[in-house]
C-alpha cells in the first residue's frame, strides 16, 4: 500500500507521528475517534501563500467554515490573518478569540436580519451581498442603525471551476452571487442605497479547484467590471478572489502558491487595490487527520470489511461527495499482507463508509487507522447522527500536544432538550 507522508505526518520506526508527537501517546489520553492537527502545517501554508502574493497589496482571510475550532482560528489570527465567516455562529467564534472587526468579512447567500444587524453593529470590514433584495435589507438596517454599511457584491461570473457539482459555486445555474449585468446595475444605482458604501467586489467560484484557469477567467471578468466602475468614478478598495484552492487528497497535481500568484498578479496589479484571498481547505485540509480504531474485521460474500469506530457522522465527505481520503495504519507491520477492503463505520446506513475497495495493510481488532487530509470540512461537518458524540480535537506543536476540544459528553446529547 501507499503511505501519505509529509513533513507534518511522518513515520518514525514504522509508527505514525504528527510533527514530533507519537499518535499512540496522544490516543492513550484521548481515545478514538479523534481529530489531530499539526499547528505548523497551518502556519507554514499561511506564510507560503502570503509570501507568494508579496508583490501586491493583499490580505488572507481564512474561511473558518473549513475548520472553526477556536484554537485553529487563533493560530491564523496570531500570525496576522483575517477571517471569512458565513454565519453568526462563525462570527461569534472569531470575535471570541479576538479577531479584530476590521479583519472579518461576512459572506453567505442567505444572511438573516439579525446576522446583518450584528455585522453592522460590530463594524466588520465588509459584508458581501448576494442579491438585490439583500442589498435593500442591508440598506434598511444600516439606516435604522444610522450607519454606513461597507459592502462588496458577490458576482457570479459563470465560469466552470471543474470540480464536484456540490462544491461548484460560480456557474450561472448556482444559487450564489448576482450575474454580471445585475452587479453593474446595482453598483451604479447608488442613490437607491444611501447607507451603503460599495467598498469591494467579490467572487468565490467553487472549492477543491485543481487548475488556475478558472480563477484566471473569473478574475478577468470581475476586473473588467472593476475597471469600468472606476471609469465611472466608483473606486472600489477591495477585490476578493474567494477561496477554492485545491489540495492533494490522492495524487492530484495542484498548482503551487507561486504558480497561482504568477497567473493572477498580472491581472490584479492593474487594479491598484487591496486583494483579498479567502482560502479554507488549502490552509487546513492536510493539517489534520482523523484517527479511528478497528472494532472488527469480517468477510462477507468474499468482500472484506474493516469496521472502525469513526463513522459518517465524524467525517461525511466520503458519503456525500464520494471524496477520497487516504487511509493508512498508525503502525506499519511489514509482515502483514495488503488486502482490499471497505472501511466502514458503526452507523446504520450503507452510505456510512470512509473508503471503498481500498488497498490496505491487513489489520485486526484494536489497530489504529489514520484517515488523512481530514483537517478541512471534517470536524466542522460532524453531526450527532445515531446519537454519537462528536470527536475530540487535538493540536500538536513540535513534541507537545493540547486537547483543543473534548469529546462531547453524553449530557451534551440531551442539552436543551425537554420532556
Ligand atoms: N469563501 C466562500 C464564500 C466560501 O463559500 C468558501 C467555501 C470558501 C471561501 C472557502 O473555500 P475553500 O478554500 O475551502 O475551497 N464541504 C465541502 C466544501 C464546501 C465549500 C464551501 N464554501 C467539502 O467538504 O469539500
* Domain co-membership, 262 together with 317: no
Q: What is the pLDDT of residue 359?
A: 97
* H/E element, 143: helix 132-144
Q: How many domains does the chain have?
A: 2
Q: Which atom of ligand 1 is nearest to the CA of 207?
A: 15
Same domain, 246 and 314: no
Contacts of residue 195, defined as CB under 8 A and 6 or more positions apart, other chains included, come to 139, 142, 143, 147, 148, 149
Domain of residue 290: give its range.
Answer: 9-38+285-413
Which residue's CA lies nearest to atom 6 of ligand 1? 243
Domain termination site, one of 231, 264, 279: 279
Indicate if 246 and 292 belong to the same structural domain. Answer: no
Which ligand 1 atom sits closest to the C-alpha of 206? Answer: 15
Residue 119's alpha-carbon distances to 97, 106, 115, 155, in angstroms, are: 17, 7, 6, 20
Q: Measured from the CB, is residue 109 less than 6 Å from ligand 1?
A: no
Residue 224 inside a domain? The answer is yes
Ligand 1 centroid to residue 338 C-alpha, Å: 35
- Looking up cell 435593500 gives 136
Give a yes or no: residue 65 inside a domain: no
Query: In terms of domains, do 136 and 251 share one?
Result: yes
Ligand 1 nearest atom to the CA of residue 284, by list position: 14
Q: Is the CB of 37 under 6 A from ligand 1?
A: no
* pLDDT in 10s for each residue of the chain, 419 residues: 889 989 999 999 999 999 999 999 999 999 999 999 999 999 999 999 999 999 999 999 999 999 999 999 999 999 999 999 999 999 999 999 999 999 999 999 999 999 999 999 999 999 999 999 999 999 999 999 999 999 999 999 999 999 898 888 889 899 999 999 999 999 999 889 999 999 999 999 999 999 999 999 999 999 999 999 999 999 999 999 999 999 999 989 999 999 999 999 999 999 999 999 999 999 999 999 999 999 999 999 999 999 999 999 999 999 999 999 999 999 999 999 999 999 999 999 999 999 999 999 999 999 999 999 999 999 999 999 999 999 999 999 999 999 999 999 999 999 999 99
Q: Which entry of 18, 336, 348, 363 is annotated as an active-site residue?
A: 348
- d(CA 266, CA 258) in angstroms, rounded, equals 13
Domain presence at residue 244:
yes
**312 and 259 in a common domain:** no
**Other beta carbons within 10 Å of 382:** 24
CATH number at residue 212: 3.20.20.10
Same-domain status, 226 and 309: no
Query: How many whole angstroms from 282 Cα to the centroid of ligand 1?
Result: 10
For ligand 1, whether the C-beta of 63 sits within 6 Å is yes
Q: Please tell me the predicted confidence (pLDDT) of residue 2.
A: 86
If asked whether residues 169 and 144 sit together in one domain, one would say: yes
For residue 130, the model assigns a pLDDT of: 97
Nearest protein CA to atom 19 of ligand 1, as residue: 167
Q: Are residues 151 and 263 in the same domain?
A: yes
Q: Is residue 342 situated within a structural domain?
A: yes
pTM comes to 0.98
Distance from C-alpha of 36 to C-alpha of 325, rounded to nearest angstrom: 15
Print burial letters for 158-184: b (CB count within 10 Å at least 16), e (below 16). Answer: bbebebeeebbbbbeebebbbebeebb
342-368 core/surface letters (b: 16 or more CB in 10 A; e: else): bbbbbbeeeebbbbeebebbbbeeebb
Minimum CA distance residue for ligand 1 atom 20: 207
Looking at the structure, tell me whether residues 334 and 205 fall in a common domain. no
- 203 with 309, same domain: the answer is no
What CATH number did the domain enclosing 317 receive? Answer: 2.40.37.10
How is residue 306 written as a grid cell?
Answer: 474493516
- How far, in Å, from the CA of 244 to the mean position of ligand 1? 6
Q: Can you name the residues that pair with 65 across neighbouring β-strands? A: none
pLDDT at 168: 86
Active site residue 348: yes
Q: Are residues 114 and 149 in the same domain?
A: yes
Residue 302 falls inside a structural domain: yes
Residues 215 and 351 in one domain: no
- Domain final residue pick, 249, 279, 309: 279
Q: Virtual CA dihedral for 131, 132, 137, 138, nearest 10 degrees?
A: 70
Q: What is the pLDDT of residue 170?
A: 86
Q: Which of 279, 314, 344 corresponds to the end of one domain?
A: 279
Q: State in Å: Cα 18 to ligand 1 middle.
A: 25
Contact 108, 86 (CB under 8 A): yes
Amino acid at each position: 500500500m501507499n503511505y501519505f507522508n509529509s513533513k507534518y505526518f511522518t513515520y518514525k520506526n514504522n509508527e505514525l507521528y504528527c510533527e514530533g508527537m507519537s499518535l499512540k501517546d496522544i490516543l492513550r489520553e484521548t481515545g478514538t475517534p479523534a481529530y489531530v492537527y499539526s499547528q505548523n502545517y497551518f502556519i507554514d501554508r499561511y506564510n507560503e501563500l502570503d509570501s507568494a502574493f508579496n508583490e501586491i497589496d493583499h490580505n488572507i482571510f481564512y474561511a473558518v467554515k473549513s475548520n472553526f475550532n477556536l484554537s485553529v482560528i487563533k493560530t491564523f489570527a496570531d500570525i496576522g490573518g483575517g477571517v471569512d465567516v458565513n454565519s453568526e455562529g462563525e462570527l461569534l467564534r472569531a470575535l471570541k478569540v479576538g479577531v479584530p472587526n476590521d479583519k472579518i468579512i461576512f459572506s453567505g447567500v442567505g444572511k438573516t436580519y439579525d446576522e446583518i444587524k450584528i455585522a453592522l453593529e460590530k463594524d466588520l470590514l465588509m459584508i458581501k451581498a448576494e442579491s438585490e433584495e439583500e442589498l435593500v435589507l442591508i440598506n434598511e438596517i444600516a439606516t435604522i442603525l444610522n450607519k454606513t454599511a461597507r459592502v462588496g457584491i458577490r458576482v457570479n461570473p459563470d465560469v466552470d471551476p471543474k470540480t464536484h457539482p456540490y462544491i461548484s459555486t460560480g456557474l450561472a445555474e448556482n444559487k450564489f452571487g448576482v450575474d454580471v449585468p445585475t452587479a453593474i446595475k446595482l453598483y451604479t444605482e447608488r442613490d437607491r442605497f444611501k447607507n451603503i458604501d460599495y467598498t469591494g467586489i467579490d467572487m468565490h467560484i467553487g472549492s477543491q479547484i485543481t487548475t488556475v484557469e478558472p480563477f484566471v477567467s473569473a478574475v478577468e471578468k470581475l476586473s473588467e467590471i472593476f475597471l469600468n466602475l472606476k471609469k465611472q468614478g466608483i473606486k472600489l478598495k477591495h477585490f476578493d478572489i474567494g477561496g477554492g484552492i485545491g489540495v492533494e487528497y490522492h495524487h492530484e497535481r495542484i498548482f503551487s502558491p507561486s504558480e497561482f500568484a504568477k497567473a493572477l498578479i498580472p491581472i490584479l496589479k492593474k487594479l491598484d487595490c487591496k486583494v483579498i484571498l479567502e482560502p479554507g481547505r488549502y490552509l487546513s485540509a492536510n493539517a489534520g487527520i482523523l484517527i479511528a480504531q478497528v472494532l472488527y474485521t469480517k468477510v462477507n460474500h468474499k468482500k472484506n470489511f474493516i469496521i472502525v469506530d469513526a463513522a459518517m457522522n465524524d467525517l461525511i465527505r466520503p458519503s456525500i461527495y464520494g471524496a477520497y481520503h487516504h487511509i493508512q495504519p498508525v503502525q506499519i507491520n511489514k509482515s502483514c499482507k495488503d488486502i482490499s477492503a471497505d472501511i466502514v463505520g458503526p452507523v446504520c446506513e450503507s452510505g456510512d463508509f470512509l473508503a471503498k475497495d481500498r488497498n490496505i495493510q491487513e489489520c485486526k481488532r484494536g489497530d489504529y487507522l489514520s484517515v488523512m487530509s481530514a483537517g478541512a470540512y471534517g470536524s466542522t461537518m460532524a453531526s450527532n447522527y445515531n446519537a454519537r458524540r462528536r470527536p475530540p480535537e487535538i493540536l500538536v506543536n513540535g513534541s507537545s500536544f493540547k486537547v483543543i476540544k473534548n469529546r462531547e459528553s453524553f449530557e451534551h446529547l440531551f442539552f436543551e432538550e425537554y420532556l
